[in-house]
Structures are given as C-alpha cells and as structure tokens.
Amino acid sequence: MSCFPCLPRKDEENAKSGSEFPRGFNALVNKNDKAKTINSGSLNKDGINGNIQTQTFTFRELATATKNFRPDCLIGEGGFGRVYKGYLESTGQVVAVKQLDRNGLQGNKEFTVEVLMLSLLHHPNLVNLIGYCADGEQRLLVYEFMPLGSLEDHLLDLKPDKKPLKWYTRMKIAYGAAQGLEYLHEKANPPVIYRDLKSSNILLDEDYNPKLSDFGLAKLGPGGDKFNVASCVMGTYGYCAPEYARIGELTLRSDVYSFGVVLLELITGRRVIDTRRSTNEQNLVAWAQPMFKDQKRFPELVDPLLKRAYPVIGLNQAVGVAAMCLQEEASVRPFMADVVVALSFLAEGPPLSEASSIPSHIVKPPVPEEKTQYHPPEPIIIDGVERSHSNSSHSENSRHGSSRSSGPMQLQRLLEFNQSSSSMYSKLSSFGNEISRSSSMDSVNSEDSSHQPSCNPNSNVQQARS
C-alpha cells in the first residue's frame, strides 16, 4: 500500500474540537514538501480526536455501488477525475463517488486536503463528505448526492427544452454560496481560502439550495488583509482574482472576487470566458465593467432568458454587489459577511407569489373612485391622533383611518425589510405617509371648518387672533 501526505500521530493527539484544525494541518495544506507522510491507514473512521466522522470504504464496495463504474452512472468529470452516481446497499443511500484520475491535475495532496477539510468543516452550504477509499493506488471520495447537479448545468449553455432559472432562484443560490464562503472566512479557525469558486463547483439539491464542493485546492489563510504568496497559482482562468493570477498574492478577498464573477454569471447567464462571442464580449468581467458605472445600462446585463421578469431595485442592488466584489484592488472589496447581509434582502421572493406585485396603493397614488368607498365624515389623522365629527360614527371611521395610515407598516412586515438596511422601504414608507397626509387634508377641506375647530391648525390660529 502506498503512502500519501496526512497528519502525523502527534498532531492527532493534540487536535482541537469544533471547527478548529489540528496543529500541523496548516503545514500539511500550505506546504508542498513531502517530508511528512504516513500510511493512509491513519485516516480512520474514528477520526482525529473525534473530529473526523467519515467512513472508510473498500474499492470493492464502491465498485459495487457504481455497478463497476459503468458509463451510464457517470454524472460529471473534472480536474480531479470522474464522478459517478452510486447506491450503498449497507445504508440504502444514494451517493456521488468521485474517482481520482492518476494522470489528472490533482493528486494525493489534494485528495488528503479535501478529506480533512470536509471532515472538519460542517455547514448547510458545504457539501457533506460521507467517506473515502484509499485502497492501494485507488483514491475515491464519497459525497451526498445532489440531484440537480451543478449550477453550471442550469445556468450556462441551456438546451432549448430546459427552463432557465428564475430571478429569485438565482439570488437564492448566490445568497447560499455567499453564506458558505462566509463560514469558511469568518467561522473556521484558522480561516479557509476556497480558491476554486466557480459555477461548476456549486451543487444544487432538489430545492435549489447551493453547496460548495471540491476543496482540493483550499488553503488555510492568515486572515484579514494579510496574504500568502502561492508558489504555484491554482484555480480556473477567469475566476481568479487579478492579483493572484498576476503575482500569486492570495487572500480571503481573492475568494470575494471569484464570488463576484459567479454573481455576474447569475445575472447575465453568460460564461466568464466565451470565445464564441465577439472579441469585446469574450471576457465577461471586461464586458460588464463599463456598464457598472451607468445604472441606466444595468438592464443590458440581464440574461435575456428572464424576459424582463426581475425587480428593478433588486437588479440594481445585485449589480452593485457584483461591482464591489470585482474591484481591481483587493483591499476595497467587501468582506463576505457584508455580502451576505446585502444579498439577504434579494434572496426573498415577492410577498405572495412571483407573479404578484406590490399593492397598487403603495406603488401609485390611489384612484379617485376609492373615496366613494368610505362614508363621510371621514376621520382625520394628524400626528397619529384620530378625530371624528361625532361619537356615533367614530368607530366605523376609525377602521378606515387606521387601515389607511398603517399601509407602510404592513408593507414592512410583509417584505420583512430592515428599515436601516433597505432604502426601498424608507421610500415606500414616506410615500405612504404622503398619501395619508394628502387624504387627511382633502377631508379637512371638504368639511365645514366650524365642525372641527380642534383639528385644523389654521382655525386655531384664527381663534387665537380673534
């Protein structure tokens, strides 16, 4: 049985619990030397001090699960190797089995990194590693099966018979992927630089919940604005941050740039690099940069397959987030925690259904005919105080007055917007208040001022003068 890099036994004894990595893991992940190697049997199902909970499989078990790796079980292929759909008879579980290509771009080190990363890191937006196989020369990883495949399958180069993703589904995927990156950057200790974020590495479950996969290139980061200088630049062309591709400077903000590329793909439905397009449109980021400066051109970025079915405010905010993530200078890009907050407002669907719109009395002024629905005398609301002509009509008119004045508050609860974080609500709220004030002043002008001396500020002034 051959050997491959893993944790020395001394580090196993000193491992910490939770999401912290054992000491020595930093050296394993971030160094290219082969000095520290032990037998693959050290990756056992008992794990590192209880941290690793993955199972070990024999090659025969996984061959049986995938029907001897038959071509009709093949569901994907990448730099690591081929991915097959399998069925574990022992647990009755459908799984995805990734087999290492011996001549591929990734080797034993990447295999070990992925096993340890996914064994120690757990989050709803990270793919779940069930187990691995290290029999002889065979290297295989066993994941939970994601029925909808990758984001790339549903976004780029769609076949005519395949429906495009709706706007809110796209924002939901972006929000989930951002949460996964936030966990790697902010919650893992030490922080993890994913280094290979792209649409083909974002997998989708049956409800379009995204999960990050393929952690073979992940690297432990120093945190903050400190950076590592990679001896070998790894990743996918187009998704790599410019400073990383140029001089190998790797930080957490490098992942932020990659996320900006994915978000731009979600908005446009275009590949980041597409040589089939005209010269000025082959590079997605370079093509979109001039439009970032002019909000009137934002609709030109939208995927034509959406057929204008998107909220204008949501588009403006999504493009703004993408533009911030794609800043040339790494230090001015936002942290993923800030990106998550910004996208949290965009991921929520419309209040009732995707076809419904905001109530008409919020979007435009009320139609004159609506006044006939109310029986005079109407209540007058000034500074939150409700007044009426007589006690007999007070209760009925109070209901009309309260429903009219509480429109903005109902909208806030309906959309669940945070007033301090959403300019959209503040605009709608002020507009609703203007409607209430205008309707109240109409009532004041329509009634005899002698009937309501205490409600009309002008009449109070005249009384004072007399």
Indicate if the pLDDT at residue 458 is higher than 60: no
- C-alpha 395/C-alpha 376 separation (Å) is 13
Q: Which of 46, 101, 196, 294 is catalytic?
A: 196
b/e map of 385-394 (b: 16 or more CB within 10 Å)? eeebbeeeee
Indicate if the pLDDT at residue 137 is higher than 70: yes
| Cβ neighbours of residue 78 closer than 8 Å, sequence gap 6 or more | 200, 214
Nearest to 133 by CA among 78, 84, 180: 84
Q: Are 338 and 327 in contact (CB under 8 A)?
A: no
What average pLDDT does the segment 307-327 reach? Answer: 95
Tell me the pLDDT band of 170, cut-offs 50, 70 and 90. very high
| Cβ neighbours of residue 61 closer than 8 Å, sequence gap 6 or more | 88, 90, 133
Domain 3-144, second-level architecture = 2-Layer Sandwich (3.30)
What average pLDDT does the segment 150-169 reach? Answer: 93
Q: Are 235 and 178 in contact (CB under 8 A)?
A: no
| Other Cβ atoms within 10 Å of 252 Cβ, number | 25
- Please tell me which residue, 204 or 78, carries the higher pLDDT value: 204
**Domain 151-344, what fold?**
Transferase(Phosphotransferase); domain 1 (1.10.510)
pLDDT of residue 414: 32
- C-alpha 456/C-alpha 193 separation (Å) is 65
| H-assigned helices in 156-307 | 167-182, 242-247, 252-268, 284-292
Q: What percent of the chain has pLDDT over 70?
A: 61
Indicate if the pLDDT at residue 249 is higher than 80: yes
Least confident of 61-65, 135-139, 408-412: 408-412
- C-alpha 198/C-alpha 298 separation (Å) is 23
Question: What length is written for the chain?
Answer: 466
> What does the block give as tokens for 89?
């008879």
| Cβ neighbours of residue 176 closer than 8 Å, sequence gap 6 or more | 124, 125, 209, 210, 211, 347
Q: Which residues are annotated as a binding site for ATP?
A: 98
Indicate if the pLDDT at residue 229 is higher than 80: no
| Other Cβ atoms within 10 Å of 345 Cβ, number | 20
Tell me the pLDDT band of 53, cut-offs 50, 70 and 90. low
Residue type, 454: S
Indicate if the pLDDT at residue 431 is higher than 50: no
pLDDT of residue 12: 38
Pairing of strands 129-133, 74-77: unpaired
Tell me the pLDDT band of 351, cut-offs 50, 70 and 90. low
| Cβ neighbours of residue 102 closer than 8 Å, sequence gap 6 or more | 137
| Other Cβ atoms within 10 Å of 94 Cβ, number | 13
Tell me the pLDDT band of 285, cut-offs 50, 70 and 90. very high
- CA angle (207, 209, 214) in 5-degree steps: 130
Kindly state the DSSP code that residue 391 receives in the 8-state scheme: S
**Per residue in 85-129, pLDDT tens?**
999 998 899 999 999 887 765 677 888 888 988 888 999 999 999
3-class DSSP state of 202: strand
| H-assigned helices in 311-372 | 312-325, 336-344, 360-363
Indicate if the pLDDT at residue 34 is higher than 90: no
Please report where in the chains the tokens 């800043």 appear, as a residue: 327
Indicate if the pLDDT at residue 400 is higher than 70: no
φ/ψ of residue 379, rounded to 5: -75, 155
Most confident of 121-135, 221-235, 387-401: 121-135
| H-assigned helices in 90-212 | 108-120, 151-155, 167-182
- C-alpha 203/C-alpha 155 separation (Å) is 12
- C-alpha 210/C-alpha 349 separation (Å) is 17
User: Cα dist. 132→91, 111, 213 in Å?
Assistant: 15, 9, 15
Please report where in the chains the tokens 């495009």 appear, as a residue: 164
- CA angle (106, 195, 292) in 5-degree steps: 135
- C-alpha 222/C-alpha 242 separation (Å) is 19
pLDDT of residue 365: 40
- Please tell me which residue, 213 or 104, carries the higher pLDDT value: 213
Indicate if the pLDDT at residue 189 is higher than 70: yes
Spell out the domain ranges in the chain: 3-144, 151-344
Please report where in the chains the tokens 């001089």 appear, as a residue: 247
Kindly state the DSSP code that residue 179 receives in the 8-state scheme: H
pLDDT of residue 337: 96
Pairing of strands 129-133, 55-56: parallel
Residue 196 designated active-site: yes
Mean pLDDT of the chain: 74
Residue type, 419: Q
- Report the DSSP beta bridge partners of residue 102: none
What average pLDDT does the segment 299-307 reach? Answer: 95
- Please tell me which residue, 220 or 412, carries the higher pLDDT value: 220
pLDDT of residue 152: 95
- C-alpha 373/C-alpha 363 separation (Å) is 20
Helix (H) or strand (E) holding 211: strand 210-212
Indicate if the pLDDT at residue 48 is higher than 60: no
Tell me the pLDDT band of 145, cut-offs 50, 70 and 90. very high
| Cβ neighbours of residue 276 closer than 8 Å, sequence gap 6 or more | none
Q: Please state the pTM of the whole predicted model.
A: 0.67
| Cβ neighbours of residue 41 closer than 8 Å, sequence gap 6 or more | 1
pLDDT of residue 410: 36
**Per residue in 333-348, pLDDT tens?**
999 999 999 999 898 8
Indicate if the pLDDT at residue 25 is higher than 90: no
Indicate if the pLDDT at residue 452 is higher than 50: no
| Other Cβ atoms within 10 Å of 307 Cβ, number | 9
What average pLDDT does the segment 382-394 reach? Answer: 45
